[in-house]
Amino acid sequence: MNRLEELFTRKKSNVLNVFCTAGFPQLNSTWEVMKALQDNGADIIELGMPYSDPLADGPVIQASNTKALQNGMTMQLLFEQLRDFRKEIYVPVILMGNINPVLQFGFENFCKQAASLPVDGIILPDLPEYEFENEYGAIIKRYGLDFIFLITPETSEERIKKLDTLSTGFLYVVSSSSTTGNKKDFTEVEKYLQRLQNMQLKNSLIVGFGIKDKSTFQSACKYANGAVIGTAYIKALENATDIQSATKAFLSSIIN
């Protein structure tokens, strides 16, 4: 059983996934951020691989990408930073990013390195399902990595079923059609989540986009297995002098 399966077998609700851009706020803070997240209650860590042109992200996460790149973050460096991280980090870790840097690194090489660390899964929102089925899915499987697909309120029922079949690890439920960090009316989101709950999907559901505090986290968790927080945590780190205490304060405001 891999780490994600183990997690969702053990914990079926209120799973807290926290996103942070690798190399942010400082070039070498990646490990410290992960440690702080794990120590203070994050169940999954999603590490963003910074990109110059992150299309699906709002201004806060974009700015963290720019900062990380200015700090000197690269894919190669990320893998070096993560070497031996399993000595301290036992929660599932997912790499998330845009397809282009992964293609330049070499898709297979990327999977190989990711699996050797090991991280548990990858999310590449701009790798479409057709390309996945045609070419990349087989490579991902060969290295035993989970590949997590996104669905949105605009995704048809038929397509949700298809993406649920292809997705392993969990299904990433984008709460509203928006770039990250955009606020939308949460009652609409609840209706959508209820609809999903009734579909009896194979994967656990993790809700993302627009989860920013205790109340949105709890609402999301009413109908899903958990939620991802990204923008709000990046904001908390932006002004932090001490990563440990900022993370502790932020996470306790969500789960306590």
Partner 1 sequence: MVQTIIPNNKGTYKQPNIFGYYGNFGGAYIPEMLHRNVEELRDNYLKIMYDEAFQKEFQNLLHDYAGRPTPLFFAERLSNQFNTKIYLKREDLNHTGAHKINNAIGQVLLALRLGKKRIIAETGAGQHGVATATVCALKGLECIVYMGVKDMERQQPNVARMRMLGAEVRPATSGSQTLKDATNEAIRDWINNPNDTHYVIGSVVGPHPYPDMVARFQSVISEEIKKQLKEKTGSELPNYVMACVGGGSNAAGAFYHFLDDLSVQLVAVEAAGCGINSGMSAATTQLGKPGVLHGSKSLVMQTADGQVVEPHSISAGLDYPGIGPLHAHLYESGRAKFLSATDKEAVEAAFNLTKMEGIIPALESSHALAALNQMRFKKDDVVVICLSGRGDKDMSTYMKYMNEL
Catalytic residue numbers read 46, 57
Maximum CA pair distance of the chain?
Answer: 47
Of 130 and 239, which CB lies nearer to partner 1 in the complex structure? 130
Of 167 and 219, which CB lies nearer to partner 1 in the complex structure? 167
**Closest separation between CB of residue 160 and partner 1, Å?**
10
C-alpha to C-alpha distance for 17 and 206, rounded to whole angstroms: 8
Strand, helix or coil at 92? Answer: coil
Tell me if 110 sits within 8 A of 139, measured CB to CB. Answer: no
Of 102 and 145, which CB lies nearer to partner 1 in the complex structure? 102
**Sole residue written with tokens 């807290």:** 16
Tell me if 170 sits within 8 A of 204, measured CB to CB. Answer: yes
Chain residues that interact with partner 1, rule: CB under 8 A: 51-53, 55-56, 58, 62, 66, 69, 74-76, 98-105, 125-128, 130-131, 149-152, 154-156, 159, 163, 174, 177-179, 182
**Closest separation between CB of residue 249 and partner 1, Å?**
30
Show the DSSP H helices in 86-230 as ranges: 99-105, 107-116, 129-131, 137-142, 157-166, 186-197, 214-223
C-alpha to C-alpha distance for 254 and 233, rounded to whole angstroms: 11
**CA angle, 87 then 93 then 97, to 5°:** 130
Tell me if 237 sits within 8 A of 33, measured CB to CB. Answer: yes
**Closest separation between CB of residue 103 and partner 1, Å?**
6
**Closest separation between CB of residue 149 and partner 1, Å?**
7
- Is the omega angle on the peptide bond into residue 118 within 30 degrees of 0, that is, cis? yes
Of 99 and 115, which CB lies nearer to partner 1 in the complex structure? 99
**Closest separation between CB of residue 95 and partner 1, Å?**
14
